[in-house]
Amino acid sequence: MKTFRQELVFNLPARRGFVNITAKVAECVRESGVREGLVLVNSMHISSSIFINDHEGGLLEDWERWLEKLAPEKPHDQYRHNETGEDNADAHLKRTIMGRETVVAITEGKLDFGPWEQIFYGEFDGLRRKRVLVKIIGE
Amino acid sequence: MKTFRQELVFNLPARRGFVNITAKVAECVRESGVREGLVLVNSMHISSSIFINDHEGGLLEDWERWLEKLAPEKPHDQYRHNETGEDNADAHLKRTIMGRETVVAITEGKLDFGPWEQIFYGEFDGLRRKRVLVKIIGE
Amino acid sequence: MKTFRQELVFNLPARRGFVNITAKVAECVRESGVREGLVLVNSMHISSSIFINDHEGGLLEDWERWLEKLAPEKPHDQYRHNETGEDNADAHLKRTIMGRETVVAITEGKLDFGPWEQIFYGEFDGLRRKRVLVKIIGE
């Protein structure tokens, strides 16, 4: 069995944003030399997400508005968590909806994807350095 | 290490619906010959889901109504994504809540499930051919 | 390849609650002897969750209030599922938002976590015995 580990680093210039990281994960798969296996991609932070969906600009705007409706950032004092001095309770809730991680099959040395599947990093509390873990097992 | 890959194909006669695919996944596990390992089951499309829950007809109706409340299909022009000519932005959001994938343990050659766990395919933009990936690793 | 399986048992004294199970999962990883691999942690019941987030008391209260807003328990008769004699349809929906499972990387014999990641069991229909599965594969 082969294993491979790499961290991807992000530092978004806004509180919220989405980054397509498919090419970076595909590069990890190539480097790993794994032909058949699984790749786990997860945010190492609890206020950001990894998820798979379509890369279409309008849809990314829809997510921003939809998440603000389901788990609004403001007023900050609507959340008990923000009594600790934080202002990011909404980021924890938004990340819950979008998910912490994805697991993707590796087949014949490549991400085994449908035609529109793309891997995204979703930031909900940015303006600082955050990490994503890529872990591969297989052979 | 053994690996196994199979695609399941669905073509639902309605925009939305749920299909219990537990028996199909269990058949993949048998065919794979894997006794101890993991099975990944994921939609290969970004407007449908794989999730695990109870097979009870009333609950499936509750999901339909609940998802329509959280991410309503209409009016179609409430979503930027639909400006591309699509009408399925809501399907992307519904699939986000229900999830893209599940990972299930294989123990002694079988799906290692609690008493009520069943695997479902959730369709949110049907009336066409869609695929689900089953990938197994183990030994 | 090594594999390891263990069930964790919970019996919460209330309908809903959260339990930090990180130490129990870490103990499974130690017992397994796996140095590089993946650990799957999933609820074996369809009215409870496994998820990863921050261990902060205010945030746990925020979740309770937020989930009650998105998928309220009462009135029980708003859900078709409850016509079966159950009163826990809301638990199925809450668990859907919070997730059934998590997959965590094992690196150098330990849970490969960011600084704040903790694994939680989320109970939405307690007052009875429930099980969580820990399955490890790797070497």
Q: What is the pLDDT along chain C (139 residues), one digit of tens a residue?
A: 999 999 999 999 999 999 999 999 999 999 999 999 999 999 999 999 999 999 999 999 999 999 999 999 999 999 999 999 999 999 999 999 999 999 999 999 999 999 999 999 999 999 999 999 999 999 9
C21, C120 in Cβ contact below 8 A?
yes
- The span from the CA of C105 to the CA of C127, in Å, is 32
Q: What is the pLDDT along chain B (139 residues), one digit of tens a residue?
A: 999 999 999 999 999 999 999 999 999 999 999 999 999 999 999 999 999 999 999 999 999 999 999 999 999 999 999 999 999 999 999 999 999 999 999 999 999 999 999 999 999 999 999 999 999 999 9
Residue A120 CB: number of other CB atoms within 10 A? Answer: 21
Give exposure, B116-135, as e/b (b: 16+ Cβ within 10 Å): ebbbbbbbbbbeeebebbbb
B11, B100 in Cβ contact below 8 A?
no
Place of tokens 């939405």: C124
Nearest residue on chain A to B130, alpha-carbon basis: A114
Nearest residue on chain B to A35, alpha-carbon basis: B3
Closest among A100, A30, C116, C114 to B103, alpha carbons compared: A100
CA distances to A71, A85, B1, C56, C58 from A80, in Å: 14, 10, 48, 10, 5
pLDDT at site A82: 97
Give exposure, B13-29, as e/b (b: 16+ Cβ within 10 Å): eebbbbeebbebbbebb
Closest among B132, B51, B45, B55 to B97, alpha carbons compared: B51
Beta bridge partners of B95: none
Give me the interface pTM, i.e. the ipTM.
Answer: 0.97
Q: Report chain A's mean pLDDT, rounded to a whole number.
A: 98
* CA-based max dimension of chain C: 51
Residue pairs spanning A and C at CB distance below 8 A: 89
User: What does residue B114 show for φ and ψ, rounded to 5 degrees?
Assistant: -75, 175
Closest among C57, C53, C35, C47 to C108, alpha carbons compared: C35
Number of domains in chain A: 1
pLDDT per position as a tens digit, A87-119: 999 999 999 999 999 999 999 999 999 999 999
| Residues of chain A contacting B100 with CB distance shorter than 8 Å | 51-52, 102
Cβ neighbors of C83 (< 8 A, separation 6 or more) are: B58, C77
- The span from the CA of C67 to the CA of C51, in Å, is 14
CATH of the domain at C119: 2.60.120.460
Those residues of chain B whose CB sits closer than 8 Å to some CB in chain A are 1, 3, 5, 38, 40, 42-46, 70-71, 79-84, 89, 92-93, 95-97, 99-101, 103, 131, 133, 135, 137
- In 3-state terms chain B splits into helix, strand, coil percentages (rounded to 5) of 30, 35, 35
C115, A130 in Cβ contact below 8 A?
no
- The span from the CA of A19 to the CA of B120, in Å, is 29
Q: Which two tokens stand for residue B93?
A: 């959001």
Nearest residue on chain A to C53, alpha-carbon basis: A46
- The span from the CA of A76 to the CA of B111, in Å, is 44
Beta bridge partners of A121: A19, A50
| Strand B101-107 to B37-43 pairing | antiparallel
Place of tokens 């819950």: A96
| Structural domain that includes position B7 | 2-138
DSSP secondary structure string, B8-44? EEE--SSSSEEEE-HHHHHHHHHHHT-SSEEEEEEES
Q: Which two tokens stand for residue A47?
A: 């206020």
pLDDT at site B109: 98
Q: Which two tokens stand for residue B23?
A: 């028996």
Which ranges constitute the DSSP H helices of C2-138? 22-32, 57-70, 89-98
pLDDT at site A74: 98
Does C97 contact A96 at a Cβ distance shorter than 8 Å?
A: yes
Q: How many CA atoms lie within 13 A of C95 on its CB side?
A: 28
| Residues of chain B contacting C135 with CB distance shorter than 8 Å | 38, 105, 107, 112
3-state secondary structure of C79: coil
Of A81, A135, A137, the CB nearest to C59: A81
Rg of chain B in Å (alpha carbons): 16
Closest among B98, B109, B119 to B23, alpha carbons compared: B119
Residue pairs spanning B and C at CB distance below 8 A: 89
- The span from the CA of C128 to the CA of C13, in Å, is 8
